[in-house]
A and B are shown apart, each in its own frame.
Chain A
Amino acid sequence: MKAAPYDYAKPLACDEAIALIKPTEGSGKFVAGSQSLGPMMNLRLAQPEVLVDLRGIAALRECRIENEVVTLGACITHAQIEDGGIDTGTRGFMEHVARGIAYRAVRNRGTLGGSLAHADPAADWVNSMCALDAQFLVTGPGGARAIANGDWMSGAFTTALEADEILTGVRFARLSSSARWSYYKVNRKPGEFAEAIAVFIDDAARGVCRAVIGALDAPPYAIDDARELLRDADADTSCFDAHLEAAGIEAGSYEHEVHRAALVRAAAGIRNQNGTAS
């Protein structure tokens, strides 16, 4: 199918972009790589009347690490992260995750911020940023604000972002040199949206041991203290089931099986030290 008609603008600054979207009163949308919105528009699941393309705004591609805090611009692409050209301060975690997103042709155009604003619960960055306890940096008519990780997603495809606000980037603590991470997702085919995602960030030097159960029908389920899940593999594993139940996954269901497998394998990835379960 073909997209419904819309108008298009490509401003060079956030102020200009916000001024363009304001008069559309909710019928306009910001867009970057269009790798999620594009398919939805072709299927006419989305029919914005105006698209404001953010890729011309250089400030949205700026990344830096200052005082152990990483800031990544929203318009960097998955491929840029995959190729290691950007220091993400995550000891290879984001590079690993980027390589598993969709397909290279999609990664060349799709952006970090676009994926986060789209907020598909099965998307990789939604769950990765939850694991990193990232803040979401937003600017709008009322100025800039930072949204805490826990306040970002209120449901599937639903964020705290107002229609006239732009996600400009994310901010999170740089992982220490002894940090370990693990990421496991279940896909029937490489590149598809995941059926289950599990993430561990184990950074004892910063007092962090966090896990995420993702690809739910809801926002990611964060486990703030995941140390219990990383104990001896032969130990009692009932704590896994307790978290899966708390995440809203019905015991005995197919979903429970795949989410449990992802969580157990991601935990094993940490215990095996290399942290690169995939």
Chain B
Amino acid sequence: MSDATIKTIELVVNQAPVADRVEPRTSLADFLREQRMLCGTNIGCEQGVCGACTIDVDGVPTRSCITPAISCAGSAVRTIEGFDDDATMNALRAAFTAEHALQCGYCTPGMLMTARDIVTRLPDADDARVRLELSGNLCRCTGYVGIVRAIRRVLDARRASTAIPHAAAAVTA
């Protein structure tokens, strides 16, 4: 780092307040991986196309490779490591396992971020909409069929639990 441009930023990472020194050019992805040791966020294309680096910034999916860390000062950032206690994410993880929605796993953290956005923001999404929404996350292994099925499984379970409250526990178990 060249000392001239180093700045101190404060932000929240996985619900814990963080103060750290960054070069302005450091991407949010590099900051998380190399300074916060949160390597669950994967870096693929570094030009905002592949979606592997997608994380949650202030509650919405964000490309961490083309977003400078310094521009997230004051924000709340949540990486895949920060979703261990999240019921929706755990349902998605179980569905990804059940539907063989990953092979090498490189795209999976970003896929899960987008999948969580789909099931929470678009509860009525059909398969075509799921595929459209997934167009910003590339997977080289699965052919997407398992990923779409996994998201479908969670969408259906959430719909069923809304329709029949007593069945909720059985569906998500």
Residues of A whose CB lies within 8 Å of any CB of B are 1-8, 10, 34-35, 38-39, 41-43, 51, 53, 55, 79, 102-106, 108-109, 189-191
Q: Is the CB of A106 within 8 A of B48?
A: yes
The answer on a CB contact under 8 Å between A189 and B114 is: no
Docked complex: B14-35 residues within 8 A CB-CB of A: 23-25, 27, 30
Report the minimal beta-carbon distance from B152 to chain A, rounded to whole angstroms. Answer: 18
What are 17 residue pairs bridging A and B, where the CB atoms are less than 8 Å apart in the complex?
A: A2-B46, A6-B25, A7-B5, A8-B68, A8-B71, A10-B73, A34-B68, A38-B27, A39-B46, A42-B46, A43-B47, A103-B135, A103-B136, A105-B61, A105-B62, A105-B114, A108-B62
Contact of B61 among A38, A53, A108 (CB under 8 A): A108
Do A42 and B66 have beta carbons less than 8 Å apart? yes
User: Which of A43, A79, A103 is B60 in contact with, Cβ under 8 Å?
Assistant: A79
Distance (whole angstroms) from the CB of B6 to the closest CB of chain A: 10
Provide the residues of chain A in CB contact with B68, threshold 8 Å. 3, 8, 34, 38, 51
User: A55: nearest residue on chain B (CB-CB)?
Assistant: B71
Q: What mask results when residues 45 to 73 of chain B are scored 1 for a CB within 8 Å of chain A, else 0?
A: 01111010010010011110111101101
Nearest CB on A from B29, distance (A) = 10
Interface contact A5-B25, CB-CB below 8 Å? yes
User: Measured between alpha carbons, how far is A109 from B37 in the docked complex, in Å?
Assistant: 25
A6/B63 contact (C-beta < 8 A), A34-B68, A104-B133 known:
no
Instruction: Give the contacting residue for A2; candidates B25, B57, B135; CB below 8 A.
Output: B25
Contacts of A51 in B (CB 8 A): 24, 68
Top 8 closest A-B pairs, CB basis?
A: A103-B136, A38-B66, A8-B24, A39-B47, A190-B135, A105-B61, A3-B25, A108-B60
Number of residue pairs across A and B with beta carbons under 8 Å? 95
How far apart sit A210 and B70, CA to CA, in the bound complex (Å)? 43
With A42-B46, A104-B136 as contacts: A5 and B66 at CB distance below 8 Å: no
The CA-CA distance from A43 to B71 in the complex, in Å, is 19
Assess the B2–A5 pair: CB atoms within 8 A. yes
Residue of A nearest to B137 (CB): A103
Most buried by A among B51, B62, B114, B117: B62
- Inter-chain CA distance A1–B54, complex, in Å, is 17
Within the assembled complex, what's the spacing in Å between the Cα atoms of A53 and B68? 11
A105-B61, A109-B62 given as contacts; is B70 within 8 A of A8 (CB)? yes
**Does B36 reach chain A (CB closer than 8 Å)?**
no
Q: 11 additional contacts, CB 8 Å, given A53-B71, A190-B132?
A: A2-B25, A7-B4, A7-B5, A8-B5, A10-B71, A35-B48, A38-B66, A42-B65, A51-B68, A105-B51, A108-B62
CB contacts (< 8 Å) of B136 on chain A: these are: 102-106, 191
